[in-house]
A and B are shown apart, each in its own frame.
Chain A
Amino acid sequence: MADPSSGIEIAAASVVLGDRPVLTGLSLRLTERRIGILGRNGSGKTTLLRLIAGLIAPQTGTVRVDGFDPFADRRAALAGIGILFQNPDHQILFPTVEEELAFGLAQQGLSQSEALARANAALASEARAHWAKAPVTSLSQGQRHYLCLMAVLLMAPRTILLDEPLAGLDLPTQARLARRFAALPQRLVTITHDPASVGDCDRVIWLDAGRIAADGPPSRVIPLYTAEMARIGATDADADLAG
């Protein structure tokens, strides 16, 4: 398959949240189709995802996605990048399914009626036409995840960022979503603490304390990561406080 976009380029980027440095002098060039970012809780991986999505700007350094600055150029970012939040309740803004799906399309310039028509067509093509008028509160957690993914896909971004996309879902839902992700033509960047879900990636980056601990094919990075996690887990794993 042709390269879906020219790639993500991060040059010497640092992010400080409050007084705490979260990412320090990070440089990465991501051009693969399937990229996994591994790390423990608090390693800075969600911050890295928000940086790539343009939700935050780096204090120093630059971020470019397909050549544009995702923080400054929001119109380009809307067309270029979609982000699936870890918690669907933080992503869903609207009371009904079709409004939620139509919102992003309307923001991309479609009229509300066109956006609603597209949202309904998308639901119908996924055999979920009956969801259109349903209150989002009536959906299960897995269904809300699915709704968020549909909302992102409708905007047809070239790159999709996934934050722990399978965490907290039951096994059949995990299998169905994983199948859906695998079939997407877009570039996918998945962040997770679970090495099993990045085993099929073209490239895996292990992030630790805001720096790159290892970077390479999953066959090389995952064993290193797993061994280190087992070593830490054997001692007192989570006594240290951030900051």
Chain B
Amino acid sequence: MLTLTLPVETALHRVSAAAKLAGIAGLGVILGLTADPVLLAAVFAGLWLAYLPLGPVEAARLPRRLWLLWPFVLVIGGWHLVRGTPEAGLVVILRMLTMFGAATLMLLTTRFDALLAAFSSLLRPLERLGLPVNRIALALAMAVRFIPVLTQRASDLAEAWRARSARKARHRLLVPLAIAALDEADHAAEALRARSALV
């Protein structure tokens, strides 16, 4: 499996996973409190500055990561243009891009085991209700880990398509990608079972 983990270690790597999760939650609240597009744009620009310590390669990669969201930008932007409320649309889009960028930053600078431990301790109170907290934490952390795995599978599929077709793949890769996701889940389940009694 592949991951978002960076080969360099930065100051953000040394911040605890729980603190980063809390920071993202706090950012979400702050973004919800203001509807001023200028202020939101400033927060977004500030987020980009936070990427700089990760190195020029990663900072330059942020726009490409955000590009993943284009269908949402298109739908939300289009809807608000039709409704005649472009400013409200801009506000929603800026909030979304900022939260996505912040979550990606957290994933880039947090080790998987730290994230797993943070999920476990956050869920710990639910143990009293008889919920299998360790299993739920593992499932949550795995779900997060699968994002880059599936991104890689998608680009592998696109490559396999290009090797044998001059046409663009577009939506035709959606079904193979869904099957690849199930396949990936099967392998991960087996690998977990081979070394863990949790599964």
B198 at the interface (CB under 8 A from A): yes
Whether A135 contacts B7 by the Cβ 8 Å rule is yes
Point out residues on A near B: beta carbons under 8 Å: 50, 53-55, 74-75, 78, 82-83, 85, 89-96, 99, 102-104, 107, 112, 133-138, 151, 155
Chain B residue with the shortest CB-CB distance to A75 = B197
B165 at the interface (CB under 8 A from A): no
Point out residues on B near A: beta carbons under 8 Å: 1-7, 9, 111-113, 117, 145, 187-188, 190-198
Whether B191 contacts A90 by the Cβ 8 Å rule is yes
21 inter-chain pairs at a CB distance below 8 angstroms, sorted by A residue, are A55-B190, A55-B194, A74-B193, A75-B197, A78-B195, A85-B191, A90-B191, A91-B191, A92-B191, A93-B1, A94-B112, A95-B1, A95-B3, A95-B4, A95-B111, A96-B111, A96-B112, A102-B113, A112-B113, A135-B7, A136-B3
Whether B112 contacts A107 by the Cβ 8 Å rule is no
Whether A99 contacts B3 by the Cβ 8 Å rule is no
CB-defined contacts of B190 to chain A, threshold 8 Å = 50, 55, 85, 90
CB-defined contacts of B4 to chain A, threshold 8 Å = 95
Q: Would you give the shortest CB distance from A186 to chain B, in whole angstroms?
A: 16
The residue that B188 contacts in the complex, of A75, A93, A95, with Cβ under 8 A, is A93
- The distance in angstroms between the C-alpha atoms of A180 and B5, with both chains bound, is 30
CB-defined contacts of B2 to chain A, threshold 8 Å = 137
- The distance in angstroms between the C-alpha atoms of A82 and B190, with both chains bound, is 13
- The distance in angstroms between the C-alpha atoms of A75 and B188, with both chains bound, is 19
* Contacts A90-B190, A92-B1, A95-B3; A107 near B195 (Cβ below 8 A): yes
The residue that A94 contacts in the complex, of B6, B7, B113, B197, with Cβ under 8 A, is B113
The residue that A151 contacts in the complex, of B145, B195, B198, with Cβ under 8 A, is B195
CB-defined contacts of A54 to chain B, threshold 8 Å = 193
CB-defined contacts of B188 to chain A, threshold 8 Å = 93
* Contacts A96-B111, A102-B113, A112-B113; A91 near B194 (Cβ below 8 A): yes
CB-defined contacts of A53 to chain B, threshold 8 Å = 194
Q: Would you give the shortest CB distance from B159 to chain A, in whole angstroms?
A: 16
* Contacts A93-B1, A95-B5; A103 near B195 (Cβ below 8 A): yes
Whether A78 contacts B7 by the Cβ 8 Å rule is no
Q: Would you give the shortest CB distance from B69 to chain A, in whole angstroms?
A: 24
Q: Would you give the shortest CB distance from A75 to chain B, in whole angstroms?
A: 5
Whether B191 contacts A95 by the Cβ 8 Å rule is no
* Contacts A99-B111, A133-B9; A107 near B196 (Cβ below 8 A): yes
Whether B192 contacts A93 by the Cβ 8 Å rule is yes
CB-defined contacts of B198 to chain A, threshold 8 Å = 107
Chain B residue with the shortest CB-CB distance to A99 = B113
